[in-house]
């Protein structure tokens, strides 16, 4: 007897390699002690939120006895928070957003789900470069769509624009990208994005409905060596940016994010209405009110990105010393090295035998590689060096 829909039962049966690693990690830590397990399997930021967050929460707590302080609000979010975010996002993206272009969401994940809910008809396609964030397939599938993946260029992980444009057909509704990228750390260069935007404009000229560009950007704040994350709404009017404060403020549990609709998108009001409707009827309604009040107070603060930069250097040293092949991440907190021997699942098992936990590339749509999340203490990185060397022996 199955208690589940076929679709959910099937998704569960395929399982999540990352989740499995998480459980295995907890088991190994019990047996060997937490300091003897080097867990790079999960992108859960370990840095505490900046001090401004605690101060803001204390201020918000003082207001809690006022009527409606934690009440329902307009469905797109608090108007003054949307206005503040319009200014903030406008600076980041170099485009003049207004508060009306911003929809508050339950993290980036909630925002992506609202967007797909609002724009996809059954069977329509979302094109995405691979490797990609594992959840995208589920988010698109939740709303009757189909994720179509297109391999990125190797070893740079840059977009293959010709292949992406070549995958477009009459069912294509969205092209989605994620930069800085999970799992590769790549930041797509402006020239590549311009070629993509120009190609999409040429496609739109042949169609009744435009193709949206969805830009998933929770790692925008984390770009190394002075790298700049280019603005997509500047390049393409049918762009929607989805993002959150999960990583830049280390607040993934508070579920606060937003969607920003490009200010020069024709008929953008209709899209915003659809996003707000989707948010409401999916049951999110909008982002948690305390989260909204919190980010309004701390906009502009973030965790110390220099800590991640030091860890990136430490991880690169460990991998280089042990002879791994990898492309240096330009942003985010992930490495995506080649699996010695070519079989990612087998190699991840070898790492696990050394108590080094990683996620196989197949789960991100690129077998033969593995992902390391370096949002862990620098000591964990340095102490893992021996394990990385031993795992590679004999490959
Ligand atoms: N998109 C990417 C690429 C991510 O890595 C994550 C989380 O790890 C998300 C979206 C979801 O972010 P949030 O926690 O804000 O929903």
Residue 22's pLDDT is 80
Q: Is the pLDDT of residue 43 over 70?
A: yes
Please tell me which residue, 2 or 115, carries the higher pLDDT value.
115
In the block, tokens 């485009």 appear at 95
> Pocket of ligand 1, candidates 114, 133, 257: which has the most ligand atoms within 8 Å of its Cβ, to mutate?
133
43 C-beta closer than 6 A to ligand 1: yes
| Interatomic CA distance for residues 278 and 274, integer angstroms | 6
Tokens of 207: 């169609």
Q: Summarize pLDDT for 287-297 with one digit per residue, the tens.
A: 999 999 999 99
Please tell me which residue, 58 or 7, carries the higher pLDDT value.
58
77 C-beta closer than 6 A to ligand 1: no
How many residues are there in the chain?
Answer: 395
* Residue 369: Cβ-neighbour burial (10 angstroms; 0-12, 13-18, 19+): buried
- Maximum Cα interatomic distance, the chain, rounded to a whole number of Å: 67
Phi, psi of 258, deg, nearest 5: -160, 160
Average pLDDT over the chain, rounded to whole? 96
| Interatomic CA distance for residues 152 and 174, integer angstroms | 17
* Residue 303: Cβ-neighbour burial (10 angstroms; 0-12, 13-18, 19+): buried
Q: For the residues 44-48, what does the mean pLDDT come to?
A: 94
∠ CA 183-184-190 to the nearest 5 degrees?
125
Residue 15's pLDDT is 67
Phi, psi of 66, deg, nearest 5: -85, 145
Q: In 273-298, which positions are buried (b, 16+ CB within 10 angstroms) versus exposed (e)?
A: ebbbebbeebebbbbbbbbbbbbbbb
Residue 88's pLDDT is 98
Q: Summarize pLDDT for 163-215 with one digit per residue, the tens.
A: 999 999 999 999 999 999 999 999 999 999 999 999 999 999 999 999 999 99
| Interatomic CA distance for residues 157 and 366, integer angstroms | 11
Report how far ligand 1's centroid is from the alpha carbon of 2 (Å). 31
Report how far ligand 1's centroid is from the alpha carbon of 237 (Å). 24
Q: Summarize pLDDT for 229-251 with one digit per residue, the tens.
A: 999 999 999 999 999 999 999 99
Residues 6+ apart with CB under 8 A from 227: 187, 330, 331
185 C-beta closer than 6 A to ligand 1: no
Q: Summarize pLDDT for 74-100 with one digit per residue, the tens.
A: 999 999 999 999 999 999 999 999 999
In the block, tokens 């190797």 appear at 154
| Interatomic CA distance for residues 293 and 59, integer angstroms | 10
Q: Summarize pLDDT for 355-381 with one digit per residue, the tens.
A: 999 999 999 999 999 999 999 999 999
The Cβ of residue 156 has, within 10 Å, a number of other Cβ atoms equal to: 12
Report how far ligand 1's centroid is from the alpha carbon of 218 (Å). 6
H or E stretch at 389: helix 385-392
Instruction: Tell me the DSSP string of 26-89.
Output: HHHHHHH-GGG-EE-------SPPPHHHHHHHHHHHHTTTSTTTTS---TT--HHHHHHHHHHH
214 C-beta closer than 6 A to ligand 1: no
Q: Summarize pLDDT for 4-16 with one digit per residue, the tens.
A: 999 898 888 776 7
∠ CA 259-260-262 to the nearest 5 degrees?
145
Q: For the residues 347-353, what does the mean pLDDT come to?
A: 96
Q: For the residues 248-266, what does the mean pLDDT come to?
A: 97
> Pocket of ligand 1, candidates 113, 116, 182, 229: which has the most ligand atoms within 8 Å of its Cβ, to mutate?
182
């Amino acid at each position: 007897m199955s208690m589940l829909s076929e679709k959910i039962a099937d998704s569960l049966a395929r399982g999540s390699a990352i989740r499995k690693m998480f459980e295995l990690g907890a088991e190994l830590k019990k047996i060997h002690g937490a300091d003897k397990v080097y867990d790079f399997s999960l992108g859960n930021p370990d840095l505490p939120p900046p001090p401004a967050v605690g101060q803001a929460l204390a201020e918000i707590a003082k207001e809690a006895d006022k009527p409606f302080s934690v009440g329902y609000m307009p469905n797109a979010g608090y108007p003054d928070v949307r206005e503040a975010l319009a200014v903030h996002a406008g600076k980041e993206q170099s485009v003049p957003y207004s508060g009306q272009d911003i929809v508050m969401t339950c993290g980036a994940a909630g925002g992506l789900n609202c967007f797909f809910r609002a724009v996809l008809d059954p069977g329509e396609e979302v094109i995405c470069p691979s490797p990609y964030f594992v959840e995208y397939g589920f988010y698109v599938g939740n709303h009757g769509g189909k994720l179509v993946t297109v391999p990125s260029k190797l070893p740079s992980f840059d977009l293959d624009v010709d292949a992406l444009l070549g995958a477009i057909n009459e069912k294509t509704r969205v092209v989605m990208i994620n930069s800085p990228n999970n799992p590769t750390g790549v930041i797509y260069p402006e020239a590549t994005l311009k070629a993509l935007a120009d190609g999409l404009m040429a496609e739109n000229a042949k169609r009744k409905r435009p193709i949206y560009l969805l830009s998933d950007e929770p790692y925008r704040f984390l770009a190394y060596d002075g790298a700049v994350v280019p603005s997509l709404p500047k390049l393409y009017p049918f762009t929607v940016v989805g993002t959150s404060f999960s990583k830049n403020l280390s607040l993934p549990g508070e579920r606060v994010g937003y969607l920003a609709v490009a200010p020069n998108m024709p008929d953008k009001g209709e899209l915003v209405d659809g996003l707000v409707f989707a948010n409401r009827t999916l049951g999110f309604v909008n982002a948690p009110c305390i989260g909204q009040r919190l980010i309004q107070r701390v906009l502009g603060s973030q965790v110390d990105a220099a800590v991640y930069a030091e860890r990136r250097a430490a991880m690169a040293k460990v991998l280089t010393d042990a002879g791994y092949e990898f492309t240096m991440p330009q942003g985010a907190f992930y490495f995506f090295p080649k699996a010695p021997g070519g079989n990612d699942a087998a190699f991840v098992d070898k790492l696990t035998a050394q108590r080094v936990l990683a996620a196989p590339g197949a789960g991100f749509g690129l077998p033969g590689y593995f992902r390391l999340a370096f949002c862990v203490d620098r000591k964990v990185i340095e102490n893992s060096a021996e394990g990385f060397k031993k795992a590679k022996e004999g490959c």
